[in-house]
Structures are given as C-alpha cells and as structure tokens.
C-alpha cells in the first residue's frame, strides 16, 4: 500500500508484452511510474499500491480484456479510453509510454476522458463467437473466389446460379481440369467443406447462447433481420438500456 492515503488515479499504457503504470494523487502529483511484464499477478500487485477503489484508465487497444478483468477483480473503478478520443497525444514533442499513461490519468482526473463502454464478460464472449463466425465466412468467400479464378484461367464456365450448391458442386466435380488447376480446385473444395462445418458449429453455439434472449427474438420481427444479423446486433449493442433513447442508439459511432 502506498504511503499516500488519498484517492488515486492510475493510467496504464498497455502494450502486447509490457505496460507502464502511472499512479497520481487527486491533485495530479505523480506517485510512481512502473513498467511491468504483462501478467495478471504483476498487474494485481501494482494496483494494490493504489489504495481502495482507485480510478484506473487504460486505452481500448490490442488485448485489453484481461487487464480490465484483473483490475475489476482487484476492486478498481475501471475506465476504458476511446482510441479516437486520445489521438491528441500525437501532437506532443516528447512522446513516451510514461507520458501516455500520465496523460490518460490526467484526462480521467479532470473529467475529460473520452470513454468506451466496458462490455461484461458474457457479452464479450458472444462477440467473440459472432465475430469469429464472420471471419469464417470471409475466409470461405475468399476460397470460393479462388475457385472461380481457376476456372476462368482454364476457360471453364459452369452455368449454374450457385457453383457451390448441390448442382454446382456436382458439375464442378465432373469438370475435367488438368495438372495444377485440378489439384488447386480439389484443395480449395476441401477447405471450403471444412469452413462450412466450422460455420455450422459456431452457428449452433451462438444459437445456444441466445436461446430465450428477448431482444434477439424481438429484433427478428423487423423486415430483413434473421438469426445471423440479430446475433450481430445483440452482440455489438450489448445492454441496450445504456442508451437513453432510440436516437442515441442510432447515432452510436462505435
């Protein structure tokens, strides 16, 4: 515990492997500046030095989840700085990690911090599933585009509306391609099948998470919104009650 017994403000400049932690008094006097290797135990020990329920700020940067969870478990009041709102740091002539952490603490202490919402763990897990499903679909789309490209090189046109539907796949497998072209298409089709199976698996996992979710059911009454888009909206919006009105939700920039 620090000898200073007043309320403390803590700024953390979080990086992938190491982070800098700056502690300040409620008047802005710097108490310490420490560099740690990213580790829950090391972070927890440093926050113990900040007294009871310190205000702690870190930027919504790469891999912030673990740090926010450790800080909250340690009893800190955690604030998440919006990256776009703190871009002003770039103007400084002197720029280093200690200054970045101190500036975050200053903004928080003076009530000028542009904050992002810290989604609870359950919402973050749902986002992980929904966003990963979207990545699987994007990867599969890239593979399908490669199949079309190979066929174009070989001068092959298969006249179906969906090359990867039942009829399209049947014709594709009967198409005579030679050498490297045939080998590449065969490989691409195997990868597409794997991604199809993985997408189906994550669709089931998402559906299980959202079974009985009132908001997910209600939003699907809107024209054009099915289970996939409903899951995206629920995951990204999170607790809709954090918005004071429908207009504020519709103007939400994140």
Reported as a single tens digit per residue, the pLDDT across 67-125 is 999 999 999 999 999 887 776 555 555 568 899 999 999 999 999 999 999 999 999 99
Identify whether the C-beta of residue 108 lies closer than 8 Å to the C-beta of residue 11.
Answer: yes
Confidence (pLDDT) at 2: 55
Sequential DSSP letters for the chain: --S--S--EEEEEE-SSEEEEEEE-TT--EEEEEEEES-HHHHHHHHHTT-SS-EEEEES-TT-HHHHHHHHHTT-EEEEE-GGGGGGGGG-SS--HHHHHHHHHHHHHTT---EE----HHHHHHHHHHHHHHHHHHHHHHHHHHHHHHHHHHT-----S-TTSHHHHHHHHHS---HHHHHHHHHHHHHHHHHHHHHHHHHHHHHHHHTT-HHHHHHTTSTT--HHHHHHHHHHH--GGGSSSHHHHHT---
Confidence (pLDDT) at 91: 54
Same-domain pairing of 107 and 151: no
**CATH code, 54:** 3.30.420.10
Same-domain pairing of 59 and 105: yes
Same-domain pairing of 52 and 94: yes
Is pLDDT above 90 for 18?
yes
Phi, psi of 131, deg, nearest 5: -70, -35
Same-domain pairing of 77 and 22: yes
Average pLDDT over residues 26-38: 95
In the sheet that holds 18-24, the strands lie side by side as 30-37, 18-24, 9-14, 55-59, 77-81, 115-116
Mean residue pLDDT across the chain: 92
User: How many domains does the chain contain in total?
Assistant: 2
Same-domain pairing of 154 and 78: no
Greater confidence (57 vs 91) lies with 57
In a domain, 2, yes or no: no
Residue that terminates a domain, selected from 95, 116, 137:
116
Confidence (pLDDT) at 101: 94
Confidence (pLDDT) at 254: 56
Confidence (pLDDT) at 89: 55
Identify whether the C-beta of residue 234 lies closer than 8 Å to the C-beta of residue 206.
Answer: no
In a domain, 3, yes or no: no
Is pLDDT above 70 for 1?
no
Give dist(CA 185, CA 172) in Å, integer: 9
Same-domain pairing of 126 and 196: yes
Same-domain pairing of 73 and 136: no
In a domain, 134, yes or no: yes
- pLDDT of 139-174, one tens digit each? 999 999 999 999 999 998 888 889 999 999 998 888
Residue that terminates a domain, selected from 116, 141, 170:
116
Average pLDDT over residues 190-218: 96
In a domain, 139, yes or no: yes
Give dist(CA 37, CA 33) in Å, integer: 14
Residue 128's pLDDT band (cuts 50, 70, 90): very high
In a domain, 29, yes or no: yes
Confidence (pLDDT) at 92: 55
Domain span holding position 181? 121-250
Residue that terminates a domain, selected from 116, 141, 173:
116
Is pLDDT above 90 for 251?
no
Same-domain pairing of 145 and 245: yes
Same-domain pairing of 107 and 128: no
Same-domain pairing of 201 and 96: no
Identify whether the C-beta of residue 68 lies closer than 8 Å to the C-beta of residue 50.
Answer: no
Is pLDDT above 90 for 250?
no
Identify whether the C-beta of residue 183 lies closer than 8 Å to the C-beta of residue 200.
Answer: no
Same-domain pairing of 158 and 246: yes
Confidence (pLDDT) at 94: 56
Confidence (pLDDT) at 88: 57
């Amino acid at each position: 515990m620090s000898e200073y017994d007043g309320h403390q403000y803590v700024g953390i400049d979080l990086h992938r492997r190491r982070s800098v932690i700056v502690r300040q008094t409620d008047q802005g006097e710097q108490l310490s500046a420490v560099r740690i290797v990213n580790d829950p135990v090391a972070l927890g020990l440093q926050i113990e030095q900040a007294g009871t329920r310190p205000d702690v700020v870190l930027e919504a940067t790469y891999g912030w989840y673990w740090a926010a969870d450790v800080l909250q478990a340690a009893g800190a009041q955690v604030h998440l700085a919006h990256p776009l709102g703190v871009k002003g740091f770039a103007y400084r002539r002197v720029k280093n990690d200690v200054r970045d952490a101190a500036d975050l603490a200053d903004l928080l202490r003076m009530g000028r911090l542009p904050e992002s919402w810290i989604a609870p763990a359950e919402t973050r897990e749902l986002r992980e599933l929904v966003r990963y499903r979207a990545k699987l679909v994007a990867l599969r789309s890239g593979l399908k585009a490669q199949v079309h490209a190979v066929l174009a090189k070989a001068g092959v046109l298969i006249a179906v509306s969906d090359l990867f539907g039942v009829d399209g796949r049947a014709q594709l497998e009967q198409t005579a391609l030679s050498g490297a072209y045939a080998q590449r298409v065969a490989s691409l089709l195997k990868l597409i099948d794997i991604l199809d199976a993985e997408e189906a698996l994550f669709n089931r996992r998402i559906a299980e998470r959202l079974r009985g979710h009132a908001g997910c059911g209600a939003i699907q009454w809107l024209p054009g919104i099915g289970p996939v888009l409903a899951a995206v909206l629920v995951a990204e919006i999170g607790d809709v009650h954090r918005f004071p009105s429908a207009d504020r939700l519709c103007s939400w920039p994140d």
